[in-house]
Amino acid sequence: MHFAQYYLDCLSQASYLIGDKTTGRAVLVDPRRDIDDYLHDAEDAGLRIELVIETHIHADFLSGHLELARATGATIAFGEAAETGFPTRRLRDGERISLGADDGQGVTLTVLATPGHTLESICLVLREDPDDDVPFGVLTGDTLFVGDVGRPDLLSAAGHTPQDMAARLHRSLHTKLLTLPDATRVFPAHGAGSACGRSLSSETSSTIGDQRRFNYALQPMPVDDFIRLVTAGQPATPGYFAHDAALNRDGHPLLEPGPPPALTLDEALAARDRQGAVLLDCRPLAAYTRAHLTGSLHTSLDTRFAEYAGSVVTPGTPIVLLTDPGTEQEARLRLARIGYDHVLGHLPDPAAVLDRMPALGSSSRRIRYEELDLEESRLVGVVEAEGTRTGGAETAGAVRTDVTPTDSLPTGSLPTGSVPADIQLIDVRNPAEYEAGALPGARNLPLAGLPHRIAELDPSRPVVLYCRSGNRSVIAAALLEAHGFAEVCDVIGGYEAVGTGAQ
């Protein structure tokens, strides 16, 4: 058997190439959109990709089933409950897919219908020989992760309650996956950082036995307790999820290779002013905060670039990339992985442009934790990117004071004062992070949902933003500034800095 896992760190996404070396027949499971690695590896191993299997209709990335079908002639397959806008093979519960010879021997995949994360979700039990008592492994898609299970709330808009889907998920886990031998290896579709679950491990494989013992969601408990557990505290859903799910279900244009065209400054600004394009600054955080084109959005290529871009840029919006030289192709590809294809071009070397025309630029306003003086009801100072200070604004009013310090922050290390009424203190982390501990007076508006909730904030009042380490807060600050908020700053180092700065 040929077995290969392809793990994409920037999207926490795993895909799999499985083949029978005797016959050369192979399947690809949950492929990403850029398929060259799969094609090269299959050719090197003497394999023919005959079938592309999706464990479900993905929402967090644009899948490569259409690209692979064009490149190889492979059939596309989904679980039987999937409704798609293109021809597919529908895989039934219990169906066997043999990659071996006509005698039925050789590598075999058995389909398990496992609704819960989505209605059409399936898992694939993999055996090197169909008579093996202990499977080689099981590809669990978004049904079971290492350390977590799939979130059950993504179909709420389609009329399926999270509670109903969680009940289905419980049945799938206990009547299908947990009946497999403990030695069966678990190969999920995602790892740590994915918004498809709440507390995924950084490990990319495990065993059924280890998950039975250590996965919080698989511990013995009444069904109602399981439902409450897995429907609470899920990450905010990035704005592009519904867009990607629709494209993966209905069909999408095929990926076009090549770098985006270079634009002059005048062309980039004209695209913004006449076509409604977003100027997306992809440079590292330090470079962006030091100087950026006023009104540009930001997410760095050295973070979860595509996910964060999909959180603050509306699907279908034209995009002009502001990139360091030589990184424009990477930025375009990573956006394409979430279906953001409308990239008009890139402005080469924006730092050089800003050096020549500083009047077009701005520096980010940032504040250190110790300068967020809750007791004195004022901001002591705001740190500009170059290290200068500007006068502090009047500060403001409590939203939440019933915070619980996290394990990393001993009781008593958090400030106890309330935020005065003029300041809007916003925590842009996910709900579970916020519930584990937050600054007093902070209101939780997760980054992924912020574009749809900007109207809840007052642009005439100062805004102070923070996240875990200071990355998401800069992205959020850029978004608010682009929407006309004049007084926005973020806490350098985020909530992690509270643990050191407050002690």
Instruction: Describe the crossing of helices 162-175 and 223-231 by its angle, rounded to 10 degrees.
Output: 120
Q: d(Cα 395, Cα 415) in Å, to the nearest integer? A: 15
Q: d(Cα 490, Cα 470) in Å, to the nearest integer? A: 7
Q: d(Cα 464, Cα 445) in Å, to the nearest integer? A: 12
Half-sphere exposure of 35 (CA within 13 A, CB side): 25
Q: d(Cα 49, Cα 65) in Å, to the nearest integer? A: 11
Q: d(Cα 326, Cα 334) in Å, to the nearest integer? A: 14
- Provide the sign of the torsion angle of the four alpha carbons 409, 415, 416, 419, taken in this order: negative
Could you tell me if 12 and 200 are in contact, meaning their C-beta atoms sit under 8 angstroms apart? Answer: yes
Residue 35 CB partners (closer than 8 Å, separation 6+): 64, 67, 68, 71
Q: Which of the residues 123, 282, 467, 489 is marked catalytic?
A: 467
Distances (CA, A) of 282 to 115, 330, 354: 38, 10, 15
Amino acid sitting at position 10: C
> How many CB atoms lie under 10 A from the CB of residue 63?
25
381: which DSSP letter?
-
Could you tell me if 428 and 446 are in contact, meaning their C-beta atoms sit under 8 angstroms apart? Answer: yes
Could you tell me if 41 and 35 are in contact, meaning their C-beta atoms sit under 8 angstroms apart? Answer: no
Could you tell me if 185 and 146 are in contact, meaning their C-beta atoms sit under 8 angstroms apart? Answer: no
User: Which of 77, 66, 172 is closest to 118 using CA atoms?
Assistant: 172
165: which DSSP letter?
H
**DSSP for 282-335, written as a single string:** -S-HHHHHH-EETT-EE--TTSSHHHHHHHHS-TT--EEEEE-TT-HHHHHHHH
Catalytic residue check, 196: no
User: Which of 292, 349, 335 is closest to 477 using CA atoms?
Assistant: 292
Q: What does the angle CA 207 – CA 124 – CA 30 come to, to the nearest 5 degrees? A: 100
Q: What does the angle CA 378 – CA 383 – CA 385 come to, to the nearest 5 degrees? A: 155
> How many CB atoms lie under 10 A from the CB of residue 147?
23
Q: d(Cα 114, Cα 93) in Å, to the nearest integer? A: 9
Alpha helices in 78-222, H assignment, sequence order: 162-175, 208-214
Catalytic center residues: 467
